[in-house]
Structure 1
Amino acid sequence: MSHSGGREPSVSLSLLDATMVGIGAMIGAGIFVLTGLAVDISGPAALVAFALNGGVTTFTALSYAELASAIPRNGGGYAYVREVFSAPVAFVMGWTRWFTYMIAGSLYALGFASNFLEWGHIYGITLPGQPVLYALGAVVALVALNGLSTEASGRGETAITLVKIAILAVFVIFGLTATRVNEFDPLFTKGPLSLLPAMGLTFIAFQGYDLIATVTEEVENPQVNIPRAILLSVLVTVVVYLFVVFVAIGTLGAEELAGAGETAIAQAAEGFMPSFPIIGTGASLIAFGAVFSTISALNAVVIGSSRVAFAMGRERQLPARLGRFHHRYGTPLVAIMASAVVMLIAVVVVPIRIVGNLASLFSLLGFIIVNYALIRLRRRQPDLQRPFEVPFYPATPILGIVCNALLGLFIDPFTWILAIGWLLFGGAVYLVLSRRGDIGPTAAPEIQEPEPIQTTDTDD
């Protein structure tokens, strides 16, 4: 059994906090900037593409929920793969998930900066400095918050996410009164096959629930609350997305929405939303929501990326100092700092569009492995206690594997070449660290069976 050293993780996150981590990561800038682009690809059927992506997401989310209930450890997908696969396979999984979260962090930071500056322009305010400076500032601020207190970062995530849900709810409530159902007739103006590229484009907006599993040991009653948080976050996100897309198409129309591109939701809001005290027009409210969405998504990936690095350090697949909680703050401070360094570098020098595609591809590959890990764990440890079990097994994880693989086919060949290059680089890092003695073989921690639930006899 491996040991993390230092103090134990602080159990400070509630079911609500854990759920908000997932929703905060999923409802990022994607719904604001991708809706118009998806409508441009598939017309009104973009609503169907979002619904199908919700179904594809649910297959893998169910696998995450069962694995989290059976393996209650920080690290998410990496921890599950570490349990059922060899050390090199687990390293590849952790290496790619860590990279994916860190790159997503740089994307969200830059998204926050552009939305924040645009929000200022709406009020006629030209803020000084370049967007990259605001992106760097956001990363530094959230890293400091996460380094000092898991509870503070979790509570902050909850507050920010509730605000942006409220903003989207206002958009939907006003929009439903102005929605024209005939805008969806005909539905498949660009053919049923146009759904697939639209799904490939918008799938990134459904990623983030997996971050919940990275903080398992810091959540109250994790074997019950982590599965609940995963499934609740997916359900809430899918419902919000479908209402927002339905209103956007039904009010602005598919043709105008497609022409609006990345500002589609804001333009739709201008058409039917009233002005609000202090905030101003509907467009300004949506811009405000986009600022909150990107900052909450950034905070979520700061939390998640550091926990993957922590789990790999605890397993001696990265230097052991990453796998320790700070003796005073009770946070994986070194892992947080290591993740922050990569995010900061990516904000400044990485070609974001290319690496964004790379992050999407690694997510799809990671989800395939997690679904297979569920099948393998069922076979290897059939008697392991699982407070939550995937319904319709094995059809559900198999569908998760197939659907994620199909979406991966729509990733361009150049991104696949980059992915192979990053994996080879990871292999070289693994060999160098092994030879230097910075990492080494270790047994995965034993899975702790959950304590039986105490019941009170009320029959007498």
Structure 2
Amino acid sequence: MYCMGEERAARYDAQLRRALSFWDIAYLEIGSMIGSGWMFAPLLAASVVGPASILSWLIAGILVYFIAESYTEVASMFPRSGGLVRFPQYTHGLFASFWIAWTTLIYVVAVAPAEALATTTYLAALVPGLLIPGTMEISPLGYLVAAALLIFYFLLNWFGVHIMGKTNTAVGWYKLLIPTFTIILLFAFLLHPVNYSGLPGGFAPYGMAAIFMAIPTTGIAFAYLGFRQSVEFSGEVKRPREIAIGAVLGFTLVVIIYILLETAFVGAVNWSKVGVSPGDWQGLSKSILSRGPLYQLLTLSGIAVLTVFAVLFIIDAVLSPSGTGWIYTGGTARSLYGMAANGQLPEWFMYLNRYRVPKWGTIAALIVGFLFLYKFPAWGLIVGFITSAGYFGFLVSGPLPLALRKMAPDAPRYYRVPAISVFSALATISVYLIIYWSTFDILWGVVVAILLGLPLFYMYVMPSRFGVSRSKGFVAGILYWIVLLLSTYFLLYEPIVAPYEKSGGLLLAPSYVLYFTAFWLITLAMVVGLTLWLSAGLGEEQRNHIRAGWWIVAVIFTVLPLSFFGQFGVFKTPIIPFPWDTIIAILIGLAIHIWGARSAFMTEDLKTALQRTRQEKV
């Protein structure tokens, strides 16, 4: 029999400390968005796009704004900690919410270690032994420093959300001021107007397609991921009506800062001092700037005021990533809390410590963070993966508010998005585009990581929530893992990915298409077949949960082949070149949005959530 997650979560939600103010929410967004992204992304974006990287930041800001607005309305309606993984269950049930929760968990647990890596990398400018010589990877000493940072993030969260929130607000002012002064100083002392369009190749030397590819692959979309924290901590806000104002203010300020920062960075490059031929933007990523681009620009200038400011900059190079790191440590705990509230993890992930913070989720965030440091010893190795997985977790952003407008039109809301039909569709399309632009080189690994999670739904969620035989769930899960791993290695990695990574681009050949098609068909048949087999004996209510999640499966199995054959795939001459590939992605995204919105249904969790909301606002 189906058992509600929202009902059992209510007593734990009531124990959470509602201590965050309007400014705390604004600085949660600022603190999580101004992290390692601003330290490295300006260089990486410019090296991929050239001066047109300024447009990449602007376009990304607009796309993510649609996504953020959709979630803000729902968070003001249901202020729930861990909301990003709980909201999908309200409107689309357990199957869809599991996909969203799993993809969210994949990326959120990796952000804190990524920020620790960023801090350690910048500190290497002062302590060279933190990095392995000739690489951007941390040394054993660097690992100890990064691990110590993770422990600091853990302790700051462990002793209460009010401590973390007030600390973040205080640090947030510094994190906001240093980028602002950096922009002013770069424009005032280092501006070279010729860099914008007067060099070989002009404003967009690598073409229009590169402008879009840079969004998910160079840290731009990664930097904007932080908007989610206003949703994740919404259950701990004193006055829910302030969620929307704080979220919009924080997001808007950061987008403006990033656009101006990229503009300043492009204009500040002194080609002779960095040892790169003028106009060779790709060469910047291999120059001295790779060891801390903004810091190096300041110190190489030889200007006294900039050299002095570089000291303050190094302090911010520690605080900015660290601020994001400790926020995401708390965000990871709330994601695990939300999955437990959904019934997708054991109830003990909702247990709180004496400071009313999710206990086991915070501990798990620390342990998994150590593992990620070991697996990904450099910032650049992890950021693309995080971005692609992170935006998979936002797939429900469009269908969610639209479905709630239709199913609960009179429910109290503190904030309403104007023209919700248009905004919600643009949110879904934006998510699909960012995922598609991630390139096949990144996307194949993300898709496999997402698919690896489905057996947990078979083995834990379906037995505990739907009454499916646990042994039957284990048989399906183990079989699934075996087939997925074998097909991934023998049909995808060995014949396609490995040759592509060695060559940088494959010549079109039937064998590549056949291998990929075989992988696609086998995995699709396995996901659909095993899910239907386990669902065969379920009642109508349980089958509704399964039916409402198929559109998520459709996203996975449409974006991967489009990526394979499109502009950002494995072939030197793409079968579907730009802009036709992006036009197709927009049309698929729109179709997915319509399917997702129509798949929503009135779940028992939504009924309970609406009842709680009405009682709380009386």
Q: Compute the displacement of 1:138 (Å).
A: 0.9
SS in 1 for 2:418: coil
Give the counterpart of 2:609 among 412, 430, 446.
446
Residues 1:203 and 2:221 aligned together: yes
Instruction: Determine whether 1:269 maps to 2:298.
Output: yes
Where does residue 361 of structure 1 map in the other structure? 388
Q: Which residue of 1 aligns with 2:408?
A: 381
* Pair 1:258–1:163, CA change in 2 (3 A): farther
Per the alignment, residue 475 of structure 2 pairs with none
**Residue type of the partner of 1:219?**
V
Letter in 2 for 1:226: I
Match of 1:143 in 2: 154
Match of 2:100 in 1: 93
Task: Confirm whether residue 217 of structure 1 aligns to residue 217 of structure 2.
Answer: no
Any conservation in 2 of the 1:4–1:323 contact (CA below 8 Å)?
no
- Asked if structure 1 preserves the Cα contact closer than 8 Å seen for 2:350 and 2:359, the reply is no
Query: Structure 1 residue runs of 4+, over 6 Å off?
Result: 438-442, 450-453
Q: Give me the identity figure in percent.
A: 20
Report what 1:343 is aligned to. Answer: 369
Which residue of 2 is the match for residue 304 of structure 1? 331
Alignment match, 2:253: 236
**CA distance change for structure 1 residues 12 and 94 in 2, over 3 Å: closer, same or farther?**
same
SS of 1:13's equivalent? Answer: coil
189-198 vs 287-296, which moves further = 189-198
Q: Find the partner of 2:454 among 408, 424, 427.
A: 427
Q: Tell me whether 1:166 sits opposite 2:177 in the alignment.
A: yes
Q: Does 1:2 align with 2:8?
A: yes
Q: Does the C-alpha gap of structure 1 residues 431 and 236 become closer, same or farther in structure 2, counting only changes over 3 Å?
A: same
Tell me, in whole angstroms, the C-alpha distance in 2 between the residues paired with 1:24 and 1:412. Answer: 28
2:560 aligns to what? none
Please show how residues 152-191 of structure 1 align to structure 2 within 5 Å.
152-178=163-189, 179-185=191-197, 186-191=202-207
Structure 1 window deviating more from structure 2 (258-267 vs 362-371): it is 258-267
CA-to-aligned-CA distance 1:111-168 (integer Å, 9 cap, x gap) = 222222324459xxxx995211111111112112211211111112222222122211
> Greater relative contact order (Cα 8 A, min sep 6): structure 1 or 2?
1
SS of the counterpart of 1:203? Answer: helix
Distance 2:376 2:39 in 1: 23
Q: 1:367 to 1:437 in 2, by over 3 A?
A: closer
Is contact 1:108-1:295 (8 Å) kept? yes
Q: Measure the CA separation in 1 of the matches of 2:140 and 2:214.
A: 35
Q: Distance in 2 between matches of 1:356 and 1:172?
A: 24
**Higher deviation after alignment, 112-121 or 341-350:** 112-121
Question: TM (normalized to structure 2)?
Answer: 0.67
Conserved 8 A contact 2:171-2:319: yes
Cα distance in 2 for partners of 1:39, 1:45 equals 8
**Structure 1 residue 414, shift from structure 2 partner:** 4.8
Residue 79 of structure 1 and its aligned partner are, at CA, apart by: 2.0
Q: Distance in 1 between matches of 2:148 and 2:318?
A: 14
| Secondary structure at 2:9 match in 1 | coil
- Superposition deviation, residue 257 in structure 1: 6.6
8 Å contact 1:258–1:264 — kept in the other structure?
no
Mapped partners of 1:417, 1:259: distance in 2: 27
SS in 2 for 1:34: helix
Aligned to 1:17: 24
| Cα distance in structure 2, aligned partners of 1:256 and 1:32 | 21
User: For structure 1, which runs of at least 5 residues remain unmatched after alignment?
Assistant: 454-460
Could you tell me which residue of structure 1 aligns to residue 244 of structure 2? 227
Residue 333 of structure 1 deviates from its aligned partner by 1.3
CA distance in 1, matches of 2:148, 2:368: 14
Structure 2 CA distance for partners of 1:380 and 1:232, relative to 1, 3 Å: same
**Counterpart Cα distance in 2 of 1:340 and 1:286:** 27
- Go from structure 1 to structure 2 and tell me whether the alpha carbon gap of 1:452 and 1:77 turns closer, same or farther (over 3 Å shift): closer
- Does the 8 Å contact 1:372/1:397 carry over to 2? yes
1:38 counterpart residue number: 45
Quick check: 1:317–1:439 contact (8 Å CA) kept in 2?
A: no
Structure-2 separation of matches of 1:129 and 1:384:
55
Stretch moving more, 53-62 or 409-418: 409-418
The residue identity in structure 1 corresponding to 2:266 is I
Shift of 1:190: 3.4
Counterpart-to-counterpart distance in 2, 1:399 and 1:256 = 35
2:124 pairs, out of 114, 117, 129, with 117
Q: Which amino acid in the other structure matches residue 369 of structure 1? A: V
Q: Distance in 1 between matches of 2:49 and 2:452?
A: 38
Please tell me the residue identity of whatever aligns with 2:212: L
Compute the displacement of 1:4 (Å). Answer: 5.3
- The one-letter code matched in structure 2 to 1:215 is F
Letter in 2 for 1:192: M
Alpha-carbon separation, structure 2, partners of 1:238 and 1:337: 32
Mapped partners of 2:238, 2:262: distance in 1: 35
Residue 9 of structure 1 contacts residue 217 of structure 1 at CA under 8 Å; is this kept in 2? Answer: yes
User: Which of 28, 31, 52 is 2:35 aligned to?
Assistant: 28
One-letter amino acid matched to 2:111: A
What's 1:313 paired with? 340
Name the structure 1 match of 2:266: 249
**Distance in structure 1 (CA, Å) of the matches to 2:82 and 2:355:** 19
Q: What one-letter code is carried by the residue in structure 2 that aligns with 1:220?
A: K
Residue in 1 that maps onto 2:358: 332
Native 8 Å contact 1:210 1:230 kept in 2 = no
1:406 aligns with 2:423: no
Contact 2:30 2:176 in 1 (8 A): no
Root-mean-square deviation (CA, aligned residues, Å) is 2.9
Partners of 1:273 and 1:297 lie apart in 2 by 31
Question: CA 1:270–1:146 in 2, change beyond 3 Å: closer, same or farther?
Answer: same
Q: Which has the larger radius of gyration?
A: 2
* Contact in 2 for aligned 1:364/1:404 (Cα 8 Å): yes
Query: How many residues are aligned here?
Result: 446
How far did 1:323 drift?
1.2
Q: Which amino acid aligns with 2:30?
A: I
1:119 touches 1:287 (CA, 8 Å); kept in 2? no
Deviation (angstroms), 1:298: 0.4
Distance 1:250 1:349 in 2: 36
CA distance in 2, matches of 1:14, 1:381: 28
Distance (Å, rounded) in 1 between the aligned partners of 2:464 and 2:258:
48
Match of 2:69 in 1: 62
Q: Distance in 2 between matches of 1:437 and 1:381?
A: 28
User: Could you tell me how far 1:418 is from its partner in structure 2?
Assistant: 2.8
Query: Partner of 1:457 in structure 2?
Result: none
The unaligned stretches of length 5 or more in structure 2 are 1-6, 130-137, 271-277, 468-541, 543-603
Task: Give the residue type in structure 2 aligned to 1:184.
Answer: Y
